[in-house]
Amino acid sequence: MPSKIGTPTTTVSGSKIVFDWNAPAANGLTITKYEVQIRKADLVYAVDATVCDGSSQSVIIDTQCVISISQLTNAPFLLLKGYSVNIRVTATNGYGTSVISDVGSGALI
């Protein structure tokens, strides 16, 4: 299985939020998807492939997702102005799924 991903980052770029991480060691097989978990206002983490599709080739290659702030202020996330955007990420290949990354943050809505 892939190694644990280093702590991801979240940054603001205009009306968008960029989730960024470094690819971990794949340990023999190509990474086939990432799972990006985003912390909601109720402090529970959720995955929403319509927001960040970790199986898309562009996400796998770029190791990042760029999403609009409005996607985070609407359901299911419901983040409010001033909230920090917190994410954690796993990587998957034919051997299995990595240990979940530490929580990355930085961007404020």
Averaged pLDDT, 9-24: 96
- pTM for this model (two decimals): 0.93
In a domain, 105, yes or no: no
Confidence of residue 105 (pLDDT cuts 50, 70, 90): confident
For residue range 35-70, list pLDDT tens digits in order: 999 999 999 999 998 899 999 999 999 999 999 999
In a domain, 39, yes or no: yes
For residue range 29-39, list pLDDT tens digits in order: 999 999 999 99
- Report d(CA 104, CA 2) in Å as an integer: 19
Would you say residue 106 has pLDDT above 90? Answer: no
- Domain containing 84 equals 9-97
Residue from 11, 14, 63 nearest 35 by CA: 63
Eight-class DSSP state of 8 = P
In a domain, 1, yes or no: no
